[in-house]
Amino acid sequence: MTNDIGRFSSPDTETPAGTPAEEQKPAQLVYGSAEEFLHEQLLPTYVRDVDGRAAKWCIEWYYHPEAVTRVEALWRAWEHLRLDGATGISVWFKDHADHHMSVMLDPRGPFYKCDMQKHRDPEHLEPKKAPEGWFPDVRAQET
């Protein structure tokens, strides 16, 4: 059973002190995917005027790897922080939603070439490889 706080939920009861960690079950996810989270939680609660000048969004956001990664990060953080009935919601907005949404909605962000009606593929950075030896593979040094 859960207590609903808006769309955030927290457990009715806490795991009793002294219960071994291996006996504690992880909390059930509210959303089954980052896309479900985006449509059911994030966009309905994080409402902004997306006019193309001060804020941009792409109708086909899933074609932008940066956006997909950020939405996934927002979803996973939300699922974790929703269980903190004291400050979880505030921490999620302050440290996660406000940060990632500001980056995604920025006119120079991942949707810089798109608008609400049309997706346009972004130009990807094409870096040169550094000279040999500048960045040794540290995995070989860990053994």
pLDDT mean over 30-37: 98
Q: pTM value?
A: 0.74
Count CA atoms within 13 Å of residue 34 on its CB side. 14
CA–CA separation, 97 vs 37, rounded Å? 12
pLDDT mean over 8-30: 63
The reported pLDDT for the residue numbered 143 is: 62
The reported pLDDT for the residue numbered 53 is: 86
**35 Cβ partners below 8 Å, 6+ apart?**
62, 71
Q: 56-84, pLDDT tens digit by residue?
A: 999 999 999 999 999 999 999 999 999 99
CA–CA separation, 52 vs 114, rounded Å? 9
The reported pLDDT for the residue numbered 103 is: 98
Residue 93: which of 104, 103, 84, 81 has the closest Cα? 81
